[in-house]
Structures are given as C-alpha cells and as structure tokens.
Structure 1
Amino acid sequence: MTTGNKRRVVTPGGAQVLPEEMMTEVFLRLPIKSILCFRAVCRSWDALLSSEEFCGLHMAKAEALPKMFFTSPTAGFDATAMYSSSSSGPDDGLMFTLDGVHGDIVDMTPAPCRGLTLLHDAVAPAYYVLNASTRAVTRLPPCQGSFSATAGLGFDARTRKYKVVRLFYGNFSDKQRIKCEIYTLGGDHGDCWKPAVEGVPFRFCRAAAAAISHAKWDKLFPVFANGFLHWLLLPLFLAERPRAAILSFSVTDETFTWVRSPPFVVSAVHLVELADRLCMVRDLRNVSFDCSMLEIWKLNDYNSGGWSLEHRIDLLHHVARDLIEPQIIKVIGSVGNCESTKKIVIATSRRKVVLYDPVFQTLETVIAIRDNHSSYQMDQSALRISLYQESLVPVHQTNEEISLSAPLAKATREILLRLPANCTVQFKLVCKQWLRLIENNGFVRSYYLHKNMDRKPKIMLVGKGAGGYGFSFTPLKMLRRVPDHDIWLDTKVVCSKPCLGMNLLSTELKDYLYNPCTGFCHVYHTRGPSAHIPWNIPSYSCIPEDHAFAVGCKNVGLGFNLSMQEHVIVEIFYHLKDFKSRQYALTCTVSACEMGSVQSSFQPPLPVTDMPPAYLAGVLYWMSDPRLGQNYERVIVSFDISTSMFDVIPCPSCIAMWNSRSSSNAFVVELEGRLCAVLANPDAEELNIWKREHDQWDRAYIVYLKGWQGYSLRTNVVVPWAVDPKDGKILLNTGRKLGFYDPARRSIENLYDVEELLHVRSTEQSSHVGVLERNHIAKNKPYVKNFCTQISSFQLHKFSDEPSSSLSRNNFACSRGERSLERSPVYTEIMPLIPILYEESLASYPLRRKARCLQ
C-alpha cells in the first residue's frame, strides 16, 4: 500500500479499476467476514488485506457499541461454546465451539490485547489464544508449573509480536521457586516457552508469589496497559510493603518494577485498562454497608506513582437492584469512538453487562445472558464475559498444529479412526507425529464418537488375565470354541456398564478400572473396611446379598466428573445391615481416577440396595432399600459427581409402594440414554420398566418371562442391560444367561449360557479322553465349578455381536418347548466367564498424575 503515487489495481483482463487507496478505503468499511472472503480473490488482494498496516487501520475503526462474547459449556461439559453479545442465551448467536476446552472451568481475559484474547483451561491444563472476530484459535505448547500459575497476554511494540507471560512456582528442588517464562506467538524461538531475560530478581520474588496467590484465588488476569502487564498483589503483602500495590512487567524489556499504591487502603479492588491507561476500580460496597459506589482511579505517572479519581458511579441511584445484589461487579473496559465520549463497560456475576456514560452519568443494561446448561462452578468471580475488537490480527499456529493439519496427517487420522483400538494404540510407536496425533484429546474424542455412533450393544466375555494379574477379554463373536478352563475365573466378579469407554470390574477386595479394548488397567483397593465408623457400631454385622450383581458388602459405581473430565469411583460400603431392627451403618468413598484424590466425607440420605447404580449425565442413581432405616417407601438416591451432592428423586407410584410380604424387587438402570426404574414381579414373571423424561415417569416396556428357562424371576435377578436401536430388542442379563428379548414376539434369543458352556466343555473333553475322563470330570464337577485354575493371556479382537452357534441356543422351540429342571442358582459359585458391555475407546489415564489447581 503506497501513499506517494496512486497506483491502480489491474485486473487479469487488463482493465483498470479504482486506485489502491480508494480500494483500501472501501475495504476498511467492510466487516471481517467479507474481508476474509475477499482474500481468496487474488494474490494482490490477499497481500493487501493481510498486511500489518491494513490490519492496524481496520482495528483502529472503533465501534460505538460494545462487541462482546461470552462462553457457555456444552451439554457434556467437554467443550466450550462462544456466543456473540447479540444473543440472549445459548439458543442463538453461536460463533464457534472450542472442542476439548472444558467450558465450566474456563477463565479468559475480560478485554482483548490489540484484538487477541487469552483463555485458560484449568482442567487440561492449557492456554489458548484466540481472535473472536476471525474465529482463529491456537493452543499454546504445554508448560511446567501448572499447579499455581498466572499468565497474561501482552504486545511488544519493538518486535510487533504478541507475548504470553507466566509467573509460576517451579519444583521444590529449585534454588529459586518463583519463575517467569514467555511464549512469543510466531516468534523465532519455535514452539517453546523461554525464561525471561532477567528471570525474577530476588527482590521481586515475594511480590510475584503474592501476585500468583491473588490471581489464583480471585480469578484475576494481569492487565496490559502502556506496554506493561500489571498484577495486583495479595492484600497481606501490603502489610510488609504498603507503598507497593502492583507488580509490573515490561513486555518489551522483560523486566519487573513496582507501581505505588493509590491514596487509600487497597482492598476490594481490581485493575482495568481504560483508554490505554491503567486504572484501579474500588468497590465501596465492601467498605461500607450503606455505600453503593464504584470509584475509578487512574494512574497518571509510573515514576511518581500519582493517582487521580476519574469517576464515581452511584449504583443505587441509577439501576437499583441490578448492580446492588450481585456478589461480583467488575469494570472490564471501555468502548466508543473517541476518548472523551467512551462509555465504561461493567459486568456482573449475574451475567449482565451495563454501560456507564460519564457525560450524562447514566447506566444502561445492554446484555442479560442466561445459561441453558447448569454450571458446576461455585465461584462466581469468573465472569466468562469478554470484550473483543473487530480485528484481522493473525493467530500463529504452533508447529504441531501445522503438522496435524497437513493433508497427509488428515488422511492418517481418517485411517486410524477406522482401526481397532488395540491396533491404534500400537501405532503410537511408529513416530512422534503419530504419537501426538493418537494422544490428542480431539482425536480420542472423535474415535469414541466414530466407533460408537451406532449405539449397538457390544459384548465381551471376561476371564482371568495373564500372569495372575487382572482379566482377559474375549469377544463373543470370536468364541468359536469353549476356551480352556485356564482362563476361567476363580473369584466372583461384577462388571459395570461402560462409562465413556471405561468399565469397572469389582471383586470383594479390589476394583479394576479397565479399557477392555486396549487393556489399560488401574487397580483400586476396597476402602470400606478401613473407613472410620462410630464406636457403637458392631463391626461387620453385614451378610452379603446372594445374587450375580452383588459383591461383598459394597455397592460400587463408575461415573464421570463432567467439570473435571475424569472418571470417578463411588463406593458405598455397609458395616451394619440388620433387617430385623432396620439398623444400618454405611460409609461412602469417592475416588478420582486421574487426580488420585479420595474423599470419604459423604453420607447418603437413605440406605441403598445392593444392585449396582445407573450412571447418566454426570449423576449416579441407586434405588433405596425400604427394609432399612425409617423410610418404608422406595425412592431413588442420586449423587451429582461434580458437586458431590446427594439428592432424592421420587419413584413411580407402583414402585414406591413396598410391602414386607411382597417378593417384588426394584432397581434402576440406564436404557437408551434415559433413567429407568425396574420392578421385578416374581408372581407374574414380569419386568415393568418405567423411564423418566422431563421429570415425569412413563411406562416404557413390559418384559414377559413366564416359561423361559433360566430367566425366572423366582430364582434369578434379571437386569435389562441395553436396547438394540436397530430392532428394539432388550438385552437381558441374569449373570448365568444373556439374551435378547423381542417385545413384539415376546421371545428370547440366547447369546450366552453358563450351563451350556459347562456341558460343551465336558463333551469336548470326553471326546478326547474317553469314558475314564468323563467319569473323572463328573466326579470333579464341583471343582470345575469353582474354577481354581492357571491363567492365560489377553485376547483382544474386533468383533460383531452375532452369537456363536456353539454357545447359544437360537432355536425358540428348543429354548422354550422342552421343559427342564429349573434349579435355584447358587450365585456364590463363581461363573467361569462373565459377559460385559463395552464401548470402543482409546480412553486411559497417565501413570504420572498431573497436578492441577481449580480453585
């Protein structure tokens, strides 16, 4: 772009059009979206519209009304949606979505730094730089010291580069723990954080520690103004140095300095940049109960530290309760065409934005935001609202992002998405690029969605693992013959339903967190016996229940913490269970699978049955036990994992009623993504299934089991495990049998039968060793049923869910016509192989736990 001579833009056909200066004036009046499209017209337009000079001129055209965006978590809390200020909620105005950014634990700078915004995801943990106008986002490389850190975004006027500056605590073994590192977007140092030129001088170490603590507890980002990043110091530090309230860092020189305190006690304040000047906002509501004023002080000179009072905003006089009741009120910036007429933007913890006009001294509410998805974030100091500028500033991608966006990487990604999980995991060893691709959170999430989009029930059989450790998993389709009894289980095992790619296998003493597809495993010991119980409770006065879905005196469930994005094991352990006196004593322990934390200060409001809980959307559900305690009706006990809160939900009236003389059993399951309550009626041999939608209970299915061998409710606990979305058949599990129930034909198609497995095994052995061996097997059948054997290796295969003909009886007449002796199953006997539902996934947790702070 030139100013001395007026060049004309020449089209490919040779025709002359408007001079470049006039074209520039036209382009400056276009919105960002149009400019991005026009860059693709030709190379000359791309060069003009991408030049730093044009980007600066376009950004200088300030808007009179504020342009804002706000964040809201998606329904699964595994992504963050960005909405424009023109929308009133997450129903409209969606700008873009950041996948893998956990929307409920997200902080961002309330005002942009020359068009760019810094965002922090404390769960990952990770930093992002984004341009809200162009929707361009880059994730910064991993950094050390994530436990306690604070970071800000600044602009180096000398190099014309953006810098992210972090203050953090180093390792305990470091001579100086307080450190400072810098990442330069598009810099010459590559994709790495580098130490500041002078580091953190010793005289600033305690101030830097105070800045980290204040930013951590109050969710405060440093403010960039006049080429400096400014951190407000913890008030306790001011007792030592009352004249130093702010720590400043020169983005250009990479040096620290002090800023003197204003002429008042620095308390209930925050920093903000207004008209390129550093200002301090003082909330007098916290100083005096009768006062409802905000004071805005401006720093006049860095050397002398002189401050002057610029504005006094009377909140009560103008908008009454709108700015009096919120706990948090922050000034986040200013908007306008010139300095004298700029309006001040005020945001509240109630997701409202108010404009203050200094000329007319009026306040006007311009935005009121509502959330569709409930938030788990208890701290309201994170406003999740930010200003943004119409800017064309590029967001420089990291080398890893560039390599993963290459055509070859995209093709590799599509191939890996279609491979079995165990093969995909092995391909991590090919090269570093494939390792980064497979371990990328976005790829792991895409793999899970791609492999499970059909929602068809997928079944494996669980046996003993190799080397005496863990378990092996054999697809039902791959079981062409009865496996050797070397892999038969020698202990009772109860399997959970899959929870986002993971399963929990529980024995009396241990719980195993497994990914059956990859073999990932982590072992947790049962914590109930070691939990603290009152001195007057008799020890272990509890007899375990006797059916296939109970193990010991504990009830264990696997769930997922949506806000922390990690699996959680919730264990309810009974120390006392006396049905005659209705007395009980239990403890509840919650174990986080990634962070490794264990909490045991939870107490369910009611006793629960021994049936495993149902997991749905971050909540675990149990059916209460009306045989214990003071409540003689059935209700559903829920536990919200993210908030660690128990609650009680009413049951359908036919299930809530309980009679001590009735043999009916009730429990909860998850079917088709809905919470369902099941009433098992042994007299009628029926399962009545009710589903809960929109806080209302409706009858979903009736399963008729009369006459079906092995599914009698008098001798079995029959659990509806899943529903096939293709034909609506219900998968039933008794622990000894597994089959699909057809509601239309009222028939059952067997998939797996323990008795048949034992029979086939005995037949195979007798055909090889003759009559003497048959006599030996018959003589030692009790030994075979206890399955104390050696161990074989893992069998991990991709399969479809068609049952093997050698282990299933698909002929309805054969299953139902010939009546055989219906014996009462002894569930304390150990099943040789037990079925398990699973989801294809790459989910796993690192062996080394990451330290994270989500205060």
Structure 2
Amino acid sequence: MDGAAPSCEVFVLNGDTPAYWRPAASQPPMCVLEEKNPAVFLHGQLHFLYQGDGGILTFDVGDETFGWLPQPPCPPRKAPLRMTELDGCLCVFRGDGYSRRCHVWLLRDYAAQRWEKLCCIDQTVWPEPERMLLRSGWIAPLGIFHSGDNGSQKKIVFGTGTCVVFMVDLYDGGVLLPEILFKPHQSIAGDFDDTYNYPAIGIFQESLVTLGISTEDTIFSSPVTKAWLDVLKWLPARSVLHASLVCREWRAMVTTDRFIRSHAALHARSTRVMFVSDPIVGSFTDLEDHHVNQPHLLGNRGLFRCSQPCHGLNLGSWNLRDYLYNPTTRYIESVHVEVFERDASFAGRIALGYDYEIDDHVMVSLDYQKKNMETRYYNLHCHVRSLRGSWDLVDPPPRPVAIDVLPAYSNGKIYWVVEPKLGPYSAVSQLVAFSTWDREFEVLQGPPCSNFASRRVSILELYDAICLACYDEEKNAIDVWRMKDNEGAWCVECRIELEEFSPEYSSQRTTLLSSDPVDGRILLNTGWSLGYYDPKAATLETIYTVGEGGGDFGFCPVIVQDSLVRPFMK
C-alpha cells in the first residue's frame, strides 16, 4: 500500500523446530488483495482474490512460489466477489444484495483453468415467507450434499447473514426454491432484531490435531532448559518464585504446567504451618516468621474454616464467602455458586478434591434448601465443577451431610460425615464418599464410636488415609479411627489422652490438623497453642503459643503444601 513493495512471510506449524515468521522463498508481484476475504487452500495452493475483479493470486506452500488464475466471466456488480472451497473445487461466488441474486462458479478443471457456472440463486422468485426470512444482503455457499443412488442427486447448502441455513436442489429442473434447515430464533437464545447481532455461521471439521509446537515444547526444546528444570524443581516454591526473576527464560519455564507438575510431584509431602492473617486478601504468615510478623487474631467477627491442602490448594470460608487459596504463591480466587443461596452455618458446603484422569481439581458444592431437625426432613442440592469447567447440577448424596463438620479428601474421594439428626435414623455412624473420577456418591459405614450422635467429630487425612476423630469430652481424650484401604473397614489408630496436658489442651477445644510424614506425630491446635502429639510415646510438644488472650479470640493455623499450582477458574 502507498507505493510500498508487497512482501510475504511464512509461519510453519508442526515442524521439528520452534515456529517463527520468516520471509518466503519468493516475493509476490505488485497487487492489492481483498482484505475481508480469507485465503482458500486447495491442491497445495493458497488462493487470494485481487481487488477489482483482477484475478486470483496463488501461492504454492511447497516451493513458496506465486502464480495467477483468472476469475470466472461474471458481469461487474457492486457486490465484491468471494471465494471458498466447494465439492473439492475452488468456488467463486457473488451475492448481490441489490438484485437479490447469488451467482456461483466452480473451477472444475484446475489445470485448464476452466470455470463452470454452478447455479444462480434468485430470491425475487421465491415465495414471500422465504424472502422475508432470508432478508440478509449476503448469501454464501457452505457445502454440497450428495443423495440418491450413487450420489447422483446434489443439493447445495447456503448460509446467510441472518444465520439462516437453507438448501436447494440443483436438479429440480426449475426455480431453485429454498428448503430451510436452520433458523436462529428456534435454536439460539438471544435477541436478533439487529442484523449485526447474529453470530457467524460456517462449516467446521472435528479434529484433535494441534496447531504447531506447544509453548511448553518450544520452551523445553533446549537441552539447557531441560537441565535447569532438573535443578530448579528441587528448590522450595518460594525459591523458585525468586529464581523466576532472574531472566525471562527461567520465568517462562517455571510457569509451565510441565514444571509445575514436576515440582508438585517432588514436593507433595512437603507441608508447613501458616497462620491466616487476612482471609479476604489471602494473606498468610509462616510459622517460622512469627517472631517477625505476629499473626493476626481471628475471633467472633466470623469463623474461618479451611480445608487440608489438596494438590497444592486450600479451600476456605470466611463470613459467608468461600475462597480458593495457594498460600505459597499468595493466590486467591473467590468461589461463588450463583444458582442458589447457601446456608451460612453449613460448614461443608463446598469441598475440594482432585481428578487424576483430567489432571484438575474438582469442587463439590452442597446446599440445604430446607432442613428441619425436629421432623428430620431435608432437601439437599449438589453442584460439581472442575476448576477449568463450570458448575453442573448432579444428583445429591443419598444421605444428608453433617452441618458442622468439614469434609476431607483422600486418594480420589471426598468424604463427609453423615448428619445423624436428619433423614432416616441410623444407630451406627456413616460417611458419604464422592468419587472425583466417576462423579458418584456412596454411603460407607463409619467407625463404631460410642454415643456418636452426641459427640463432636472431625474428618481429615492422616497417614495417607481418611481418619475420623471422635472427641470424648468426659474423659478428655480423642479417639482416632483410620479407614483401611478406602473400603469402609475401620481400625483404631490411636487414643490421645489430654488430661496430662490440661488445661492448655482439652478435648473441648482441640482439633487435629495433620500428621508428620516422617515420624508420625499428630499436630494439635487449640486456637492458642500448637503442639505435636507422639502416639508412640504419648508425649506432647508445644511448638507455638500466644496464650489464651481472653474471650473467643485466637490464631487460625492452616496446613500448606509447597506448591506452584495455578488454577484457571476464569
């Protein structure tokens, strides 16, 4: 344009080396091409329309040379020519909105450059309903449908600017009357009074072919980059984040899914304790830094509840809102289910798990639309989503889940304690399990805890298995039951006697947080003190305390995995 010499660059996809733009082997002649008409690929050539009926520029993608084809002998019109591929041939058409006609030509003989006029669609002879329906100023052929014996009967399919699809019989022997196949008002939600609001329509081919080398393949194509991956993945997540500032190459590498998965697999058992400083902004403080930055105290302004880590992420709730956290990277995402209003007092309303098949986290949201402890009636709804998907309504669990017990995830399943005060009465404890793989619920028998309905319980993962803690407040002890092989059989893991460590630790306010993967000690939390209990020696070591401080106020510790996981929820 403006006297500048035309030029051509190519970008080779699916090559053995990273793709980039480079000059073509030859450069095009002086020409002006139709900007709004995309090129058509056929017979190893890309075809471009000249402006002003000047012909067709061809580009051989093999030897990267240019050529020329004549346009069909069509009379000049105000409407520009358009080009597509039809029935395996190059097709040129002109849809004239003024004369309400559309002329279609096919290049049947590519070598001889011989054009054949396929048809002329004349809307002026159509019945009034069809003319009004196809009131758009343009019509474009989409494909040819072969029917009859040996495919002898041909029908051509057209699309229009009003998103109507119709078909005409090329061998009806007379006027080509339309057979309406698709109307947007019957199939697409929305207001289409304005022509410009109609969506585009076209023919697409299902395919699993990837477009070129992936970004990750490009990044890891260098042996040096692969070597740095093996080095950097051993560093803690915070050190990796600092290393990402060294150069753009390192930053690109450590933010890829390949590096994040390698790092997560290596540090899956690397956990640490952090304090929640501000749940709304996702502010967490390391236990090791407590002498530098005293953790904020959380009290009766709202109860913060947080899950155990699940593949690098934690799910927490605070003041009627739910949040997804990666405390290591200071990531926070608000979790909102718009389809219903949840019960603010329901502790297990959203649970977090992981699906190994799709390599993504899964969230399960439960909602009591109605519940009555006196009549034991309840109405429970359930929605499920992966972090890269959207909420789907699924069948609710067959038993009600506990109102005040957080769910827990372990080995491909999310577990809830069954609410003993709702639904059919059961003399034994029960659990509801949700498989993140097949998206189905099942009911499992719980441990034989005495007076289960009247005792405080919690469910969590310890020793790589799901465990249930039953709090015996009369004897100031905690019974820890472990499920064997995820099949519903239970055994007593240990009994934590707290009388010796009272009043700092009591069964009334102590909760279990996690187990140490090295020595098997269990981390206990009272809200004012943190301590490791050794089941073998029956000893308790306090690792941090702030004193009771009075009232309902205390700190809120969270178990965190060292992780770089970055969920994509938007």
TM-score (norm 1): 0.41
Alignment-derived partner of residue 105 in structure 1: none
- 8 Å Cα contact 1:497-1:837 kept in structure 2: yes
2:531/2:541 contact within 8 Å kept:
yes
Q: Does 1:444 align with 2:239?
A: no
Per residue, is there more helix in 1 or in 2?
A: 1
Return the structure number with greater relative CO, CA threshold 8 A, min gap 6. Answer: 1
TM-superposed CA distance for 1:726, in Å, is: 2.3
Contact 2:276–2:557, Cα closer than 8 Å, also in 1: yes
Q: 2:468 aligns to what?
A: 677
Q: Contact 2:337–2:391 (CA<8 Å) still a contact in 1?
A: no
Unaligned runs of 5+ in 2: 1-12, 21-35, 45-59, 62-68, 70-81, 89-141, 153-211
Distance 1:459 1:472, change over 3 A: same
| Aligned residue in 1 for 2:357 | 563
SS at structure 2 position matched to 1:712: coil
Show the counterpart of 1:641. 436
CA contact 1:720–1:732 (8 Å) conserved in 2: yes
CA distance in 2: counterparts of 1:425 and 1:482, whole angstroms: 21
Post-superposition CA distance 1:574-629 (Å, at most 9, x none): 3444333222333323243222x012333121111121111012210011111211
CA shift in 2, pair 1:176/1:524, >3 Å: farther
Whole-Å Cα distance in 2 between the matches of residues 836 and 635 of structure 1? Answer: 27
Cα gap change, 1:753 to 1:484, in 2 (>3 Å): closer
What is the deviation of 1:175? Answer: 7.7
Which residue number corresponds to residue 723 of structure 1? 515
Equivalent positions of 1:206-605 (< 5 A) are 240-242=145-147, 401=217, 404=220, 406-425=222-241, 427-428=243-244, 430-452=246-268, 455=269, 457-464=271-278, 469-481=280-292, 483=294, 491-525=302-336, 529-530=340-341, 544=345, 552=346, 555-595=349-389, 597-605=390-398
Shift of 1:238: 11
CA contact (8 A) 2:302 2:318 kept: yes
Q: Which amino acid aligns with 2:84?
A: P
**1:746 aligns to 2:538 (yes or no):** yes
SS at match of 1:638: strand
Note if contact 1:463-1:488 (Cα within 8 Å) is conserved in structure 2.
no
Structure 1 residue 666 corresponds to structure 2 residue 461: no
2:350–2:363: 8 Å Cα contact kept in structure 1?
Answer: yes
Residue pair 2:86, 2:144 contacting (<8 A) in 1 also: no
TM superposition shift of 1:515: 0.9
2-side partners of 1:177 and 1:598: how far apart?
40
- For 1:29, the equivalent position in structure 2 comes to none
Change (3 A) 1:581 1:724: same
The CA deviation at 1:401 is: 4.2
Q: Distance in 2 between matches of 1:753 and 1:566?
A: 37
Q: Is 1:629 equivalent to 2:426 in the alignment?
A: no
Counterparts in 2 of 1:707 and 1:523: CA distance versus 1, 3 Å: same
Counterparts of 1:737 and 1:486, CA distance in 2: 13
1:170 is matched with none
Instruction: Give the residue type in structure 1 aligned to 2:257.
Output: N
Q: Is the 8 A contact 2:513 2:524 kept in 1?
A: yes
Distance 1:528 1:554 in 2: 17
Question: C-alpha displacement at 1:514, in angstroms?
Answer: 1.1
Question: Is structure 2 residue 412 aligned with structure 1 residue 618?
Answer: yes
When residues 238 and 202 of structure 1 are mapped into structure 2, their CA distance, relative to the original with a 3 A threshold, is: closer
**Which digits, 9 at most, give the CA deviation of each residue in 1:129-172, with x for residues without a partner?**
9xxxxxxxx99989xxxxxxxxxxxxxxxxxxxxxxxxxxxxxx
| Cα distance in structure 1, aligned partners of 2:409 and 2:541 | 27
Asked if the contact 2:348–2:405 (Cα under 8 Å) also holds between the matched residues in 1, the reply is no
Rounded Cα–Cα distance in structure 2 between residues aligned with 1:139 and 1:719 = 56
Instruction: Say if 2:499 is the partner of 1:706.
Output: yes
Match of 2:130 in 1: none
Q: How does 1:83-232 map to 2 (within 5 A)?
A: 201-203=84-86
- How far does residue 456 in structure 1 lie from its aligned partner after superposition? 5.2
Deviation at 1:749, TM superposition (A): 1.4
Are the equivalent residues in 2 in contact too, given 1:637–1:649 (CA < 8 A)?
A: yes
Q: How does 1:817-836 map to 2 (within 5 A)?
A: 829=552, 831=554, 833-836=555-558
Cα contact 2:378–2:423 (8 A) shared by 1: yes
Say if 1:128 and 1:491 are closer, same or farther in 2 by CA, change over 3 A.
Answer: farther
1:691 deviation in Å? 1.9
TM-score by length of 2: 0.59
Which runs of 4 or more aligned residues in structure 1 lie more than 6 Å from their structure 2 counterparts after TM superposition?
138-142, 174-180, 396-400, 486-489
More strand by share: 2
Amino acid at match of 1:242: S
1:115 aligned partner: none
Aligned CA distance change for structure 1 residues 178 and 600 (closer, same or farther; 3 Å): farther
CA contact (8 A) 1:508 1:526 kept: no
Shift of 1:673: 1.2
Q: Check the 8 A contact 1:464/1:488 in 2, yes or no.
A: no
SS in 2 for 1:600: strand
1:32 maps to which residue? Answer: none
Cα distance change on mapping 1:204 and 1:702 into 2, 3 Å: farther
2:392 maps to a residue whose letter is Q
The equivalent residue for 1:359 is none
Amino acid of the structure 1 residue aligned with 2:241: V
- Supply the RMSD in Å over aligned alpha carbons: 4.3
Letter of the structure 2 residue corresponding to residue 519 of structure 1: R
Mapped to 1, the partners of 2:314 and 2:433 lie a distance apart of 20
1:837 partner letter? I
Q: Given the superposition, is the C-alpha separation of residues 846 and 433 from structure 1 closer, same or farther in structure 2, using an over 3 Å criterion?
A: farther
How many equivalent pairs are there?
Answer: 393
Note the residue ranges of structure 1 that are not aligned, 5 or more in a row.
1-126, 130-137, 143-173, 183-187, 190-197, 206-236, 245-259, 263-395, 532-539, 545-551, 759-780, 786-828, 850-855
